[in-house]
A and B are shown apart, each in its own frame.
Chain A
Amino acid sequence: MQPLLQLSDINRSYGAINALVGAQFELRRGEVMGLVGENGAGKSTMVKIIGGFDSGFTGDYQMNGEKLKFHNPTHAEKAGIAIAQQELSLIKTMSVAENIFLAGEGVPIFATRRTLANKAKPFMEEVGLEYIDPLRAVNRLSVGEQHLVEVARLLAHDPQVLILDEPTAALGETDSIRILDMVNRLRDRGKSIIYVSHRMDEIFKICDRITVLRDGESQDPREAKDLNVESLVELMLGRELGNMFPKRVAQSRRDPLMQVRDLWPDGVLEPANFDIYPGEILGLAGQLGAGTAEILAAMAGAANTRGGKLIFDGREFLPKRPKEAIAAGIGYCSEDRKHDGLFLGRPIFENLTAPALKAVSTGGVIAPLREQTLAAETAVNFTVDPDRLPQEAGVLSGGNQQKVALGKWLSIKPKVILVNEPTRGVDVGARAEIYLKLRELADQGASIVVASTDLYEITNLPDRIISFYRGIQIGEIELADITSERILQQITDPFNETGRHGEMVK
């Protein structure tokens, strides 16, 4: 049978980075094809090429056996390819029906709201939104329902191929189930769907076949029923775990440095309880939305919290503001350094001393020599060129920015450093340096708590792992027991739902 889409020998490079190398992709009529891979494996590049957002590739693109080249997304849309992006393109104050016909195709120039509503109903029913009034404003729907509206909008163009790019990444359980139901319904009606996701449980619930991308290269598509979570992860990782990560030793456990008790940040299902030991790197494993980011932020006083306390340094307290956490010796890097980790327009040395102005000043007056010395020490320590200290932080590469964002906490002589996604947007070379630095800080006696959604990283960096699944603390994995399969099972499918749900859905 001739596939609907057939891409062969696709090459795409951005500067020196090869995003895709001789990649293959095919999609049959009426199937759900899972597209999986680690961050940076080339998933989003592949999606962009298929959807006509990226025409700078070489290779062969065929649809229905016909050779095609799209120069822009509209072109691809005309050919019947529709993408539901993670970022919704809805006008939230307008009604569902108005959003579905935003492009104005297939409706008379003058249409009453009622006409639009009637025309919108079939598409809403197709995505499972038949219970919603088409005249209701989009901003009164849940985020998951908004995703469904987005898909309904795409269906109005009657696409042959529908690409869903991590549709459940920002959704809770209920909304995720809605999306999965919709995918099943659309498949039953003969649509061909490309489903991009990080969530293993979903992949196995709804995909017929799976294409794995790894470092820009594609694996042959596999039947989903021939795979399980373990074998899929092997395909995704597929490489020797080299010495990117510093050596770990099982830490001797005596008294915990900090005890986290009943910490219950907003947006997390249950309170969390765990201990942090001196000199260790503790990993909080979980997917996006698992609650690890919120827990770190709450420990640093940077998130709203319903309750809980830290037993630390002979005190029981919960920082209400970052200022209090800093005073207690807790440094925190969020996952978005440009948002709250760096002063991009200010010199690097100001970034490095920002948390410790008091330490470099006397009576409120900054002592330039002391400040420069402190900044230079940190820079040397973090392998940032000290000659660049007067430059704006914004000119640094992602890796160096992350080093500055992290290194600034050295100035407060931290006891605990909390880092969410330590190497997001950081190239491979700088990653190893950051891992090494975290290890050195731990060896010097600080405790490091790392939260990461990157499986490779969370498997290989921490001395001990606590896993989370959708806001629930699942379990603890000691160093000897850390394997990516085990982590993956705990963060994607801790209650063994895959088989059960799979049967229910299919």
Chain B
Amino acid sequence: MSADANEESPGLIARIARDNSPLVIVLVAAFVVIFVIGAATAPNFLTVFNFKTIIRDAALVGIMAIGLTFVTLSGNFFLLSMKETAALSIIAFATCMSAGYGFEISFLVTMLIGIGAGALQGVLIGLGGNPIVVTLGAAGLFFGIGSWWSDNLVVSFRRPHGAEWLGTGSFLGLPNITVAFILIAITAELVLRRTNFGRQVYLVGANRAAGKATGHENLGLAIKVCIIASVCSAFVAIAFSAQVSSAHVNYFAASFGSSGDMTIMVIATVMVGGNSIMGGYGSTLRSSLGAVFISTVDNMMVLHGFNSGPRVLAVGLMIVFSIIVFALLRRGTRAVE
């Protein structure tokens, strides 16, 4: 077989398709099934407005899931502090806004908090701390600071404010937060596939010892991926605060809103996307699709009038189902070791 240039370096799309193939098929098939059921049973399901709703709902969880995917792919498990990082960030942002610092300063301060939160956890994990213990501890720390800082009260700031464009603005008919989700998804996928950093994430995630032996150490990597995840949390907090012009430490908890505990939703998204919990396999694209998928199912259930109990149950079922499918697929495509 002649090895022409095309074969030697397949295009990006071909590589994505090859890496994901069995899983993408399953996910697409699942989408089709859900859409058929949705179209057949829910009258308003197949409308442009409803699709926009689905993607908008997917955006916040999706952005955080993209950030967390870096951590998971790099073999550093999960950050159990996603929700609390967002809680601290939203308090910081709203406090700055209500103090009249303006969007830019408030944004910057919040992002710095996100970076600090990520760096702290990254250093501890990179030095060998157990990710579960470290991030549980960090979760308590961040929530405690946020709660103390805000006296456990709602912090609100008056409209009009400089953040409204992010919270409620739109671009070409799409909400800006949806646009941000799409841009972040594309950027993240490019970073993972095309940069040294992205490659290191995969390599160290696939085999940490071999990563070290080839000069890629987990310490630096853990710091970077934790910062990415925490910054995504902080960004989502800003976007959400901009939308509702207020903040409270419990905005991302299960008791608030309808979609359940944010950390659990984010982890569910990463897993429904079919990323390996052990690291090394998966992509942010999968997480993005996972977010849209969960959002679609959730949307359909809302249209059918289910309340939050069955909807959380559905998310749980999706996690279990995805783990089974993922395991079966991996078994089918990989040699037994």
Contact = CB atoms under 8 A, between A and B. Distances in A.
A169 interface: no
A361 B337 contact: no
A302 B213 contact: yes
A338 B337 contact: yes
A346 B203 contact: yes
A387 B337 CA distance: 22
A326 B281 CA distance: 26
Given A323-B215, A357-B196, A390-B18, 15 more contacts: A322-B214, A334-B213, A338-B337, A339-B210, A342-B207, A343-B203, A350-B202, A350-B203, A354-B199, A354-B203, A358-B196, A364-B195, A368-B9, A372-B9, A392-B334
Given A340-B209, A346-B203, A355-B214, A369 B5 contact: yes
B337 A394 contact: yes
6 contacts: A343-B202, A344-B337, A346-B203, A357-B199, A365-B195, A408-B214
Interface of B: 1, 3, 5, 8-10, 18, 194-197, 199-200, 202-203, 206-207, 209-217, 280-281, 334-335, 337
Interface residues of A, number: 40
A376 B203 contact: no
A419 to B, nearest CB: 13
Contacts of A357: 196, 199-200, 216
Given A369-B8, A394-B334, A326 B214 contact: yes
Nearest to B198: A366
Given A345-B280, A357-B199, A364-B196, A321 B8 contact: no
Contacts of B9: 368-369, 371-372
A302 B337 CA distance: 25
A326 B335 contact: no
B1 A387 contact: yes
B1 to A, nearest CB: 6
B203 to A, nearest CB: 5
Most buried by B among A302, A342, A343, A372: A343
Nearest to A369: B9
Contacts of A300: 213
Given A322-B215, A323-B217, A394-B335, A361 B196 contact: yes
Interface in A302-360: 302, 321-323, 326-327, 332, 334, 338-346, 350, 354-355, 357-358
Contacts of A340: 207, 209-210, 212-213
Given A364-B197, A376-B3, A326 B215 contact: yes
A340 B213 CA distance: 6
Given A345-B280, A387-B3, A394-B335, A366 B207 contact: no
Contacts of A344: 206-207, 337
Nearest to B197: A364
A386 interface: yes
A64 interface: no
Contacts of B194: 365-366, 368
Contact of B206 (A343, A366, A368, A408): A343
Contacts, number: 99
A342 B194 CA distance: 21
Interface string A377-394: 000000000110010101
Interface in A270-329: 300, 302, 321-323, 326-327
Contacts of A373: 8
A341 B213 contact: yes
B126 to A, nearest CB: 14
Nearest to A342: B210
Contacts of B10: 390
A316 B334 CA distance: 45
A327 to B, nearest CB: 8
B200 A386 contact: no
Contacts of A338: 337
A372 B10 CA distance: 10
Given A323-B217, A364-B195, A368-B9, A339 B202 contact: no
Contacts of A323: 215, 217
Contacts of B196: 357-358, 361, 364-366
A363 B337 CA distance: 37
Nearest to B335: A395
Contacts of A341: 210, 213
Contacts of B8: 369, 372-373, 376
Nearest to A340: B209
Contacts of A408: 214
A376 B5 CA distance: 12
B213 A343 contact: no
Most buried by A among B197, B199, B216: B199
A417 B164 CA distance: 60
Given A338-B337, A366-B195, A322 B212 contact: yes
B196 to A, nearest CB: 5
A350 B199 contact: yes
A340 to B, nearest CB: 4
A365 B194 CA distance: 6
B204 to A, nearest CB: 9
Most buried by A among B194, B195, B213, B280: B213
A372 B14 CA distance: 15
A321 B220 CA distance: 14
B1 A345 contact: no
A343 B217 contact: no
Given A323-B217, A376-B8, A392-B334, A343 B195 contact: no
A346 B206 contact: yes
Contacts of A355: 214-215
A89 to B, nearest CB: 23
A343 B335 contact: no
Nearest to A391: B335
A350 B202 CA distance: 10
A121 B5 CA distance: 74
Contact of A345 (B3, B197, B211, B334): B334
Contacts of B281: 345
